[in-house]
Amino acid sequence: MRKPIIAGNWKMNMTPTEAVYLIDELKKLVADADIDVVICPPFVDLAVAKKLTEGTNIKVGAQNVHWAQNGAFTGEISVAMLKEIGVEYAIVGHSERRQYFGETDETVNLRAKAVLAAGVVPIICVGETLAQREANATELVVKTQTIAALNGISADGVAKLVIAYEPVWAIGTGRTATSEQANETIAVIRNIVKAIYGKAVSDAVRIQYGGSMNPKNAAELMSMPEIDGGLIGGASLRAADFAAVVNYDKR
């Protein structure tokens, strides 16, 4: 049995002061959750997030990370820096990083390997654009991205990481893949893992849905056999909404 994981990607939202209020409210609302709960604030909020979540069931993740341990990479953050303040997860290859900041399949792979090597869990994002879906290229796109992202990663490493299927056309648009569409594509990803690493690894790896999961559709999406959680965007900025997703099975 794979333990569900719900992660909130705050994107470029929430000052440290705002983060305090959100986390203080959220802690009470998800205290009884029996799944993995992760929040991914901006870099400047990470230290305060770690302090506020100590002794709770909320884990803290970063939204990005560089593959080098140090060096002349102005504006970047290394996994060693994240780990020293207690960060346990790191999002890698989010579609917005690919679209706006030049992330490639190669750099996604480099980041994922650096994160795993440091004992942090990467949340590796893959997914197709609307044009690619309309061209019936969804399977090819996610296959290409998944194979590239996992290149050179051991079976043990793959079993520990998280993959997030995020149809780019459903991020921040209010559009959502049907539960069947999401489950079908996540099954494709799982079968890719199975073909490379075997059934035990494909059964172990957790694959989230990352396309506008919210309080209204969380229970239906999470009822699908291949979907192990959600990478939540807008709904993670409101404690009540994020908690409703986390507590999808209690409503």
Instruction: Kindly report the pTM of this predicted structure.
Output: 0.96
Catalytic residue, chosen from 96, 128, 166, 226, is 166
CATH of 5-250, one of 3.90.1580.10, 3.30.930.10, 3.20.20.70, 2.20.25.90: 3.20.20.70
Run of H or E residues at 94: none
Neighbours of 69 (CB within 10 A): 12
**Which two tokens mark 20?**
């305090």
- Our answer to whether residue 66 is catalytic in this structure is no
Q: Indicate the domain borders of the chain.
A: 5-250
Interior angle at CA 37, CA 106 and CA 148, nearest 5: 15
- Our answer to whether residue 94 is catalytic in this structure is yes
Catalytic residue, chosen from 94, 96, 103, 226, is 94
Tens of pLDDT along the chain (251 residues) come to: 899 999 999 999 999 999 999 999 999 999 999 999 999 999 999 999 999 999 999 999 999 999 999 999 999 999 999 999 999 999 999 999 999 999 999 999 999 999 999 999 999 999 998 889 889 999 999 999 999 999 999 999 999 999 999 998 877 676 778 899 999 999 999 999 999 999 999 999 999 999 889 999 999 999 999 999 999 999 999 999 999 999 999 86
